[in-house]
Structure formats: structure tokens, C-alpha cells
Amino acid sequence: MKQFTLRTRTDLIEAVAYYGFLPFFANEIEGLSVEEMTPTRLWFTEISGPWEWKGPVISEGNCVYGKFFDKKAGFVSNQWFPDFANIRRDGYDFDARFEDGLATHNDQYLYNLIASKHSMLSKDAKILGGYMKPRNAGKDDWKPRKGFDTTITRLQMQCYIITSNFEYETGKNGQPYGWGIARYATPEAYLGKSFGKKVYYRTVDASRKRILKHLRSVLPDTETVYLERLIG
């Protein structure tokens, strides 16, 4: 396994391009994570580190980001994402999945909400979708819709929704602060026609074999069972 030390976002972009699949957090494939590749001094300090790199890497790195790996976040390069999405979707576009009873009404509701826009910040999706109370709502005229976190995670695991950026609140001085707010989009909206043409181009089995071949080449010492779990 080739070793990367991530000191800059350029290093991270190169690692994602090389592996094709890079979870953000440590997992059962030892060493294959942003967490393990990044020096401790770059976490939660005044120095720019992985948390700050995520948005720029998404926009500059020819990759997508989302909760793809055991309900936890990570990167997938654009080269491999269509085959990855084909596998996770089991060959279904969302409408066909819902019509076959494989997606819930809650899934459909949130998917359609995000798909109706080019992209949506998570806080806007929560408010417009009724998951979060609007500021002007009275005490008695609002009841929350439940399950946002569970549903958005499932839609990302199935590759129907991705995180297309992270945006920050700004203070009176114009400086960003706090945690980045996720912006969600469908891959079809974010990646465009090229993704739409490729995602169902192969059979699910052919996509799986293609990705496994690649992963065996970059992770030759990793047992196949762990590679298969990574793919999902």
C-alpha cells in the first residue's frame, strides 16, 4: 500500500486520485483514511487542516464527498463514482427504486426536495422540509418532521445525494466562523450529463468487478472481504 502524508489539500487531492476511495475516518482497512494520513498537528488548530480542506478538495479535486462508508464520510474520485453509484443504487434510478417499494416515503420526500433545487444547504433543507422550526413559527402551529439525519445518511450511502460543498457563517468582520454547513445535491445535478451517461452504463456486477480490480492494484495486501465491504 502506497503511503501518503497529508500536509496540504493538494496532498489530499493526490491521495483521493490515487486510491479512488478514501474514507475520512479510520476504518477496518488500516491506513486508508484521511484521519490516519494527516499529522496530528493539523487537527483542530489555527493551521488549515482536513476539516478546512474538505470544501476546496470537493471543488478542485475531481471527486465527490458524502457519507459513503459505513454511514461515515469520505471521498470518491469522479473516475470511479459512476460505477460506485451503480453498485450502491443496485442499478436503480431513484424513481424506479421508489416504485419497486425499495425506498420509503420519507426518502422520496427529502430526495425530491433536494432534487428540485440545483443544491441546498442542510439548514435550508431542514427548514423548507419541516425538520427545523422556522424563526417566525408560533408555538402551536408547527410540528417537526422527524428523521432528517437518518434519511440524508441513507440517501448518501445509496449515492442519490452527495455533499457538494461546505459553507461557513460569517461574522460582522466578514470572517468565517464555526463548522462548515453541508450543501447537498444530487450527483446528476452536480456532475451533469457525463455522470448520467456513465452511472448505468455497465451492469452492477461489471461495475463491482471493475472497482475490485482497481482496489486490488492499489491495496494489494488487503483481503478481498474488506475491499468488498468498502464498496458496499
What is the secondary structure of 134-174 as a DSSP string?
-TT--SSS--PPP-HHHHHHHHHHTTS-EEEEEEEEE-TTS
Digit-coded pLDDT (tens) for 8-52: 999 999 999 999 999 999 999 999 999 999 999 888 777 789 999
**Residue 220, pLDDT score:** 96
Cell of 93: 434510478
- Looking at residue 133, its pLDDT comes to 80
Tens digit of each residue's pLDDT (9 = 90 or more) over 124-144: 999 999 998 877 766 666 788
> Average pLDDT in the 167-171 region?
76
Q: Read off the pLDDT of residues 57-75 as tens digits, 9 standing for 90 and up.
A: 999 989 999 999 999 999 9
At 176 the pLDDT is 64
The residue extents of the domains of the chain are 9-231
pLDDT at 56: 94
188 Cβ contact partners less than 8 Å away, ≥ 6 residues apart: 115, 195, 196
